[in-house]
């Protein structure tokens, strides 16, 4: 009988009780060191295959299938993890640090659910309760194969401290070569099958000295498995595309080169994928033209460019660079709608009445010649009546028609239920060393931006309607589902805590909440309370509408240079216009939708991390130089152990731990909207302003701790009072390593 079968047969006995490894060895008669080692490896192998399970207190038994849950590991900054179930109907499960087994961040695992006793901080801390926790028993899919960290050298070995604070341990390196310590490195992980053994790996790339400019963002990209540079075969394909427009590409296109067409973009933009025109409509009213770069004419399905664009999913806008979806030959030259040159577009004409009502539309491929490139700042200056905008007279006349018309379009959209959400943004400017030179609230021209935004929303909407009208064809949509009951309830609770007496259950009540909070100290906190209880917008092959915009049909069409879904929509639209069968099935669309939703999440996460890293560097340098002055913040969240504070000038968040407030004993209430002292007196509420100081910046875990101004602990020069021993009269020792009394 094989070793494995011998173990399984023994465990399957009716009277078997879970045993520890040494108890199993004794029961099976394994007495030699070799047999015990073989038993340990066999148990681990059987566990990986899901045949047995390591139960509580390291006892081995058969797995309880009804008690198992599969999910993705999301590490927590202070240890342990949350298991995100693959089955969306199941609840998330907390996994303690000691029950992580062999799991890495983002692995797909199988965990055993059990009930653990715990006690919470507060008045009832003396009573223990039971909560459901998990113990990881098997790795189903290893998703972390490479890590980025900083190389350290000990006396006899080298190791890498991983940047990801959720990674379980440092990685031991056998041979670092000539790489110096404190350099950032990319490490290929070796297989890890024994939790009692060190994690080992091999250095694949030296990313440079940790403090060198740009290395921090390089590390983020490498850790995410992204490469900023394009493969040679992709670059070669892009370079072989001629900049001049061939006769074949002109076939079937409407020639709009004599029309007055212009672009409006941020000052720093280099890729222009949308242009605008406005003219009287022959049947009365106005004809708004939205002209989008026709990337699909150059990036064909199955090409190297297409494969790379699909892989990336979208461009990523980091704090110090842009990781493009397509090479610059396309994004800034061939496809970009630069002024004074001919470019291919997929255009939309929208017939609007004088009061902004949409009367009709048509879509078609075209060729245009943009006559003017403007920035949001220039257009805003023109809107406000300033004269130093340098906009040509002809374009000024067009803009004067466009402003009131699009204002009517916007008002009509909002009156139909569309949410008007203006989230704040901060512009971070870096110096030559890659350090933060300044952080200021972004003063982007609001009305000019809204002008273009509403033009793009119109175009996206009519394209979605056209695709939706072809019922026998698959399509790719942008959907935003309504909040669920739990999200509505939580939203109402937080809004009421802010003094906004609204019970939101629809867009109408949400707009009422926005109106009540407008121009009050709680305006921003109310916006956060609503947004964090929204579902995330995503791509899908089914059309369920867009809750935030109040659109029944919506898609992404207007940014094919930087979003792969838009490129797919262009192809679907073109096949519909040409009455050709679509080359993509519904299954293909579903795969693209899922993939692009995931790449969008990854891009958002990287953009957030790159900004957070630079902000933390900035505040860490302030702290090192002793310039930690007082900051005005707002309480934007309340946790069991403290309050989340956000600084509006930089959007930096940090925690004020209750234990850091020495002047009073505090705890959060059950709703996590108020903070009370022992007597039940409310000391702080969600949305309250609060003056804080920086207490600590943890660069390794990307965390910042605040303290309430005036509560910062200062070291005392006073010597600690030492009480004399009652027996001997000698001073008591407070050493942790006190000499033990000899046993008699």
Domain spans in the chain, listed from the N-terminal domain onward:
3-61, 65-141, 146-210, 239-415+423-474+550-571, 628-744
DSSP per residue, 489-505: HHHHHHHHHTT-----S
Show Cβ contacts of residue 578 under 8 Å, excluding neighbours closer than 6 positions: 252
Whole-angstrom distance between the N-terminal and C-terminal Cα of the chain?
53
Q: Where does 146-210 sit in CATH, by number?
A: 2.40.50.640
Mean per-residue pLDDT, 86-109: 88
Q: Is the pLDDT at 739 greater than 70, yes or no? A: no
**718: exposed, middle or buried (Cβ count in 10 Å: 0-12, 13-18, 19+):** exposed
Paired strand residues for 185: 149, 206
User: Is residue 87 helix, strand or coil?
Assistant: coil
H or E element that contains 539: strand 538-540
**What is the C-alpha separation between 486 and 505, in angstroms, rounded?**
11
> Which region, left, alpha or beta, applies to residue 607 given φ > 0 means left and ψ of -120 to 50 means alpha?
alpha
**What is the C-alpha separation between 572 and 590, in angstroms, rounded?**
14
Q: Where does 628-744 sit in CATH, by number?
A: 2.40.50.140
Mean per-residue pLDDT, 415-431: 86
Give pLDDT tens digits for 720-737: 444 444 444 454 554 444
Which two structure tokens, joined as six digits, stand for 602? 């990854």
Cβ atoms of 502 and 509 within 8 Å: the answer is: yes
**What is the C-alpha separation between 532 and 508, in angstroms, rounded?**
18
The 10 Å Cβ neighbour count of residue 285 is 19
Domain 3-61: which CATH number of 3.40.50.620, 3.30.300.90, 3.40.228.10, 1.10.10.10: 1.10.10.10
Mean per-residue pLDDT, 687-698: 92
- Give the predicted TM-score (pTM) of the model: 0.84
For residue 553, the 8-state DSSP code is S
**119: exposed, middle or buried (Cβ count in 10 Å: 0-12, 13-18, 19+):** exposed
What is the model's pLDDT at position 735? 47
**What is the C-alpha separation between 189 and 103, in angstroms, rounded?**
13
Give pLDDT tens digits for 490-518: 999 999 988 898 889 899 899 889 888 88
Sequence-ordered strand ranges (E) for 44-128: 53-54, 60-61, 68-75, 81-85, 93-95, 108-118
User: What is the domain class of 65-141 according to CATH?
Assistant: mainly beta
3-state secondary structure 638-675: ECCCEEEEEECCCCEEEEEEHHHCCCCCEEECCCCCEE
Q: How far is CA 692 from CA 68, 526, 703, 708, in A?
A: 45, 21, 16, 4
**527: exposed, middle or buried (Cβ count in 10 Å: 0-12, 13-18, 19+):** middle
What is the model's pLDDT at position 125? 46
Which two structure tokens, joined as six digits, stand for 689? 């302003």
Q: Is the pLDDT at 58 greater than 90, yes or no? A: no
The answer to whether 3-61 and 628-744 have equal CATH topology is no
Q: What band does 1 get if pLDDT is binned at 50, 70 and 90?
A: low
Q: What is the mean pLDDT of the chain?
A: 88
Q: Is the pLDDT at 710 greater than 90, yes or no? A: no
Residue carrying structure tokens 């109408």: 508
Q: What band does 120 get if pLDDT is binned at 50, 70 and 90?
A: low
**What is the C-alpha separation between 192 and 199, in angstroms, rounded?**
6
Q: How many CA atoms lie within 13 A of 599 on its CB side?
A: 26
Give pLDDT tens digits for 516-562: 888 888 888 899 899 999 999 999 999 999 999 999 999 999 999 99
Mean per-residue pLDDT, 146-167: 91
């Amino acid at each position: 009988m094989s070793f494995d079968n011998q173990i399984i047969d023994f465990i399957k006995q009716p009277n078997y009780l879970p045993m520890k490894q040494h108890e199993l060895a004794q029961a099976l008669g394994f007495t030699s060191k070799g047999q015990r080692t073989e038993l340990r490896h066999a148990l681990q192998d059987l566990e990986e295959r899901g045949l047995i399970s390591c139960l509580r207190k390291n006892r081995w038994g058969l797995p309880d299938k009804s008690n198992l849950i599969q999910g993705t590991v999301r590490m927590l900054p202070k240890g342990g993890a949350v298991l995100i179930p693959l089955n969306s109907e199941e609840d998330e499960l907390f996994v303690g640090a000691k029950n992580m087994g062999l799991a890495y961040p983002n692995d797909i695992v199988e965990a055993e659910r059990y009930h653990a006793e715990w006690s919470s901080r507060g008045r009832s801390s003396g009573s223990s309760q039971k909560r459901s926790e998990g113990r990881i028993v098997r790795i189903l899919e290893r998703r972390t194969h490479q890590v980025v960290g900083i190389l350290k050298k000990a006396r006899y070995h080298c190791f890498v401290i991983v940047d990801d604070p959720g990674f379980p341990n440092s990685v031991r390196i056998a041979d670092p070569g000539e790489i110096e310590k404190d350099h950032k490195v990319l490490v290929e992980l070796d297989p890890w099958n024994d939790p009692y053994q060190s994690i080992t790996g091999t250095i694949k790339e030296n990313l440079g000295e940790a403090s060198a400019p740009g290395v921090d963002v390089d590390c983020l990209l490498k850790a995410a498995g992204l490469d900023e540079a394009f493969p040679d075969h992709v670059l070669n394909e892009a370079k072989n595309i001629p900049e001049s427009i061939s006769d074949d590409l002109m076939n079937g296109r409407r020639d709009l080169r004599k029309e007055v067409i212009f672009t409006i973009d941020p000052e720093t933009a280099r890729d222009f994928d949308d242009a605008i025109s406005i003219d009287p409509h022959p049947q009365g009213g106005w004809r708004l033209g939205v002209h989008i770069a026709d990337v699909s004419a150059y990036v064909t399905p199955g090409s190297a460019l297409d494969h790379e664009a699909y892989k990336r999913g979208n461009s990523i806008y980091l704090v110090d660079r842009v990781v493009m979806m397509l090479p610059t030959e396309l994004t800034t030259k061939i496809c970009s709608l630069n002024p004074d040159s001919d470019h291919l577009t997929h255009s939309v004409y929208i017939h609007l009445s004088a009061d902004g009502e949409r009367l009709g539309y048509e879509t078609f491929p075209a060729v245009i010649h943009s006559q003017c490139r403007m920035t949001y700042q220039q257009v805003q200056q023109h809107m406000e009546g300033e004269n130093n905008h340098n906009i040509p007279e002809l374009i000024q006349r067009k803009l004067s028609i466009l402003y009131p018309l699009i204002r009517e379009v916007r008002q009509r959209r909002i009156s139909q239920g569309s949410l008007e959400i203006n989230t704040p943004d901060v512009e971070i400017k870096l110096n030559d060393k890659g350090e933060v030179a300044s952080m200021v609230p972004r003063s982007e021209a609001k009305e000019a931006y809204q002008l273009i935004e509403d033009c793009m929303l119109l175009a996206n909407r009519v394209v979605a309607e056209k695709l939706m009208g072809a019922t026998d064809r698959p399509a790719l949509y942008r959907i935003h589902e309504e909040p669920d009951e739990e999200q509505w309830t939580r939203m109402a609770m937080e809004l009421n805590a802010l003094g906004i007496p609204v019970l939101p259950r629809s867009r109408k009540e949400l707009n009422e909440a926005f109106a009540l909070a407008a121009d009050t100290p709680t305006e921003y906190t109310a916006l956060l309370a609503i947004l964090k209880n929204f579902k995330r917008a995503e791509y899908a092959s089914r059309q369920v509408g867009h809750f935030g915009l109040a659109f029944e049909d919506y898609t992404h069409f207007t940014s094919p240079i930087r979003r792969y879904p838009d490129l797919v929509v262009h192809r679907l639209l073109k096949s519909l216009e040409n009455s050709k069968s679509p080359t993509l099935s519904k299954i293909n669309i579903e795969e693209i939708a899922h993939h692009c939703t995931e790449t969008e999440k990854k891009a958002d996460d990287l953009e957030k991390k790159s900004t957070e890293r630079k902000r933390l560097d900035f505040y860490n340098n302030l702290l090192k130089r002793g310039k930690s002055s007082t900051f005005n913040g707002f309480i934007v969240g309340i946790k069991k152990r403290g309050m989340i504070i956000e600084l509006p000038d930089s959007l930096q968040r940090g925690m004020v731990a209750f234990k850091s407030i020495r002047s009073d004993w505090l705890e959060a209430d059950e709703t996590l909207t108020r903070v009370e002292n022992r007597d039940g007196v409310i000391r702080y509420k969600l949305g309250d302003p609060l003056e804080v100081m920086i207490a600590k910046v943890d660069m390794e875990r990307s965390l910042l701790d605040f303290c309430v101004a005036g509560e910062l602990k200062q070291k005392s020069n006073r010597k600690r009072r030492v009480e004399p021993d009652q027996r001997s009269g000698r001073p008591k020792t407070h050493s942790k390593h006190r000499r033990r009394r000899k046993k008699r």
